[in-house]
Amino acid sequence: MDYDWLVIGSGFGGSTSALRLVEKGYTVGVLEAGRRFADEDFAETTWQLSRYLWAPIVGLRGILRLTPFKDIFIASGAGVGGGSIVYANTLYRAKPEFFENPQWKGLADWESELEKPYATAERMLGVNTVPFESPGDLLLQDYAASIGKEDTFTRTPVATFFGTPGETVADPYFDGDGPDRTGCTRCGACMVGCRVGAKNTLLKNYLWFAEKAGAEVMADQMVTDIQPLGASDGSDGYTVRTRRPGMFPGRSREITAKGIVMSAGALGTNRLLANCKHSGSLPNISEQLGELVRTNSESILAVTMPDDSHKLWNSVAISSSIHTDQDTHIEVVTYGQKGDAMRYLFTLLTGPGTRWTRVFSLLGNAVRHPLGFAKTLWPFGWSRRTIALLVMQSLDNAISFRAKKRWFSRKVRLSTEQNPDMPNPTYIDAGNKAAEWIAKQTGGLAQSMFLEAAANIPTTAHILGGAAIGRDAEHGVIDENQRLFGYQNLLVCDGSAMPANPGVNPSLTITAMTERAMSKIPAKESSAKPA
């Protein structure tokens, strides 16, 4: 065997798995489709597409993957460190409704069982509360007061080293055993890629220590297939095939391991497991694969101010949030000063409708407000003057991933389908009202995401589920310890395991759930196989 364990993906689940497994004495390899970035390698602006966007088929090898489907537009991370290198550093614990969802209720006392893993994850990721008040925070506070919800305003728990702005010091988190860190300069460019070194990405904690302890990270390796080596249930180990992503992938590589941890993110894990199931490599995967895909019930809006007098960018990516009701959570977001290319994801604010009517509503808005529409086409200076509103809900809704056969290939592609009993929302009124109020107070221009306005397709930065925990293979894809039904030594530890919408940014919960799953694996013995 090349390794005891192969971890597929290096995001929150993958990096956590790698560290805990290598600490237990196992040999560990980590496969990551994206490239490795040093802090200085991140894009200086979002216009540097080759360093910002991920589309290797056309030579773009950045950190942000944008994937459109019929029912959802997905933003996700790419690169060593996974979503941690592009996310907004925001680490809330899940809302209480998450732990009580029927999909996994009764399998464990989840809120209690995850308490210690949450605390460990917060310590490892360096969670602290934003220590300052930004202009965007003041606007959000004012809006909360206008609707009688001022008591819900809170500053964000973030994975950021504040220290002295721009000053580099020895590791302040792990008694000097971690990398040097530089204090946050409040440039707001966390989601463009932190070039300062203040953002607590996984390369500065979990993955840093995993590599230090002997885990081998292999970048530019996209997994294309997983097959049992001997016994069909994987008890004898697995062969993993990889290739370099891009137009010219080169020769396939084969790597063997006794156990596999799937941590390719909800989109990557669902896609790979679907291909393995339908090609016959792992045919016994539950028929529930692709069901209960959660969008975190999200909507993203924006307000662009007439000028830069507010200095909205002078913050971290997400610095505060409010609850407009028990189910709805709104965060104020900035891309900093150099995120202008993101302007083309937005258009004029457009109200509710259907896939066929909202486009006409948008066109009507453009006719009635030609100057405003013209402003939506001008990108330069946009991110300096704009705050986004990230709206999330803990409501129980979902879509499904469906595997569709590709022509002349054994591989499949994923499409989406609304869950008829609990469809995910395509419009959230509470978000639109917040954007409209802030625009009115500031003289700004309220905006919807373009695909939501033009095609009734909402956007999520937090796609989850599809390989959810369940009591058995008829009700889920993995068990309460995140082991794949039907196979030995194969775990799913990423957002695809989550059974419900957390109603907040999910990274901390993914990490905590992975900490718990890894705690169930015994330390290596001289002749032991993974559990």
Residues that are catalytic: 462
Measured in whole angstroms, how far is the alpha carbon of residue 190 from the centre of its chain?
A: 14
Alpha carbon distance 264, 83 (integer Å):
10
Q: For residue 11, give both structure tokens.
A: 């995001």
Alpha carbon distance 505, 90 (integer Å):
6
Q: CA–CA distance from 503 to each of 10, 391, 433, 507 (Å)? A: 24, 9, 19, 12
Under the phi-then-psi rule, with left for phi > 0, alpha for psi from -120 to 50, and beta for the rest, what region is 424? beta
Q: For residue 505, give both structure tokens.
A: 């940014």
- Nearest by Cα to 8 from 319, 224, 211, 263: 263
Measured in whole angstroms, how far is the alpha carbon of residue 472 from the centre of its chain?
A: 27
**Residue 265 carries which side chain, given as an amino acid letter?**
G
In this structure, are residues 139 and 387 in contact, taking their beta carbons and an 8 Å threshold? yes
Helices of type H across 169-315: 206-212, 265-279
- Nearest by Cα to 502 from 472, 467, 475, 463: 463
Q: Within 13 A of 331's CA, how many CA atoms are on the CB side?
A: 26
b vs e for 101-138, b when ≥16 Cβ sit within 10 Å of the residue's Cβ? bebbeebeebeebbeebbebbbebbbbbebeeebbbbe
Helices of type H across 201-338: 206-212, 265-279
Q: Is 238 helix (H, G, I), strand (E, B) or coil?
A: strand
Alpha carbon distance 136, 361 (integer Å):
29
> 471, exposed or middle or buried, with CB in 10 Å at 0-12, 13-18, 19+?
middle
Q: CA–CA distance from 209 to each of 18, 22, 88, 217 (Å)? A: 9, 10, 22, 12
Alpha carbon distance 528, 502 (integer Å):
36
